[in-house]
Amino acid sequence: MSRGFVREDDQEEAPCIPPRAPLPNGGPNYVPPRGLAQLHAERADLERQRAEAAGSDYDRRRIHAEVDGRLALLQERIVTARLVEPEPGAPTEVRFGHTVTFRFLDGPQRGKEHRFTIVGVDEASVREGRIAFTAPIARALIGRKVGEEATFAQGAAQVRVAVLAIG
C-alpha cells in the first residue's frame, strides 16, 4: 500500500523498553531462591497488567506492546537462571548468597564497615544491602575467609577491605 493512503495518527511508535541489568558476557545468570521467586512474581504481575489493560483500543495495544517487551526480557532471565541453593551449615568463606561484613582499610571510606548479601543481578539493590555477584567488590570478596583482605578497583584507585564476618 502506498504511504499516501495511511493516516498519520495510525502510526504507532514502538515502546521504549528499558534493558535489564547486564549479565557478564557469556557468563551464568546465578540466582538465589529468593531472586528466582521474585522473577516469577514479576512475571505474574506483568501478565496481570496485560490482562487488565484498559482504555481505548490504542491504549490497550500500547500497554500490550510494552508489557510483551518486558515479558520477553524477563522470560529470557527466567530461562537462563541457574539456581544456587545456600550451603548448609555455617559458611567458612564468602560465596554467592552469603552476607558478608567488611571494613574498608584505605580509600575515602577508610574505617567504615558495610554489610552486603551477594545476589543475582536482577535482585541487587545497594539501598537494601544486596550487591550483584558481578560487582567488583563482590568478585573481590568471593572466596575470602574471615580475617582475609581483598583488593578491588574503585574508580582509578585500588581499595583494600578486610572480611569481618560471613553469614
Residues whose CB falls within 8 Å of the CB of residue 90, separated by 6 or more in sequence, listed in order? none
Angle at 107 between CA 101 and CA 109, to 5 degrees: 50
Residue type at 141?
L
Greater confidence (2 vs 84) lies with 84
Angle at 147 between CA 28 and CA 155, to 5 degrees: 55
C-alpha to C-alpha distance for 88 and 100, rounded to whole angstroms: 16
At 1, the pLDDT band (50, 70, 90 cuts) reads: very low
For residue 11, pLDDT over 60 is answered with no
The angle, 0 to 180 degrees and rounded to 10, between the axes of the packed helices 33-51 and 57-80 is: 160
Q: What is the pLDDT of residue 2?
A: 52
For residue 9, pLDDT over 70 is answered with no
- At 69-92, the pLDDT tens digits run 999 999 999 999 999 998 888 899
What CATH number belongs to 99-166?
Answer: 3.10.50.30
18-32, 45-59, 129-143, range with the lowest pLDDT: 18-32
By residue count, the chain amounts to 167
Residue whose grid cell is 501478565: 47
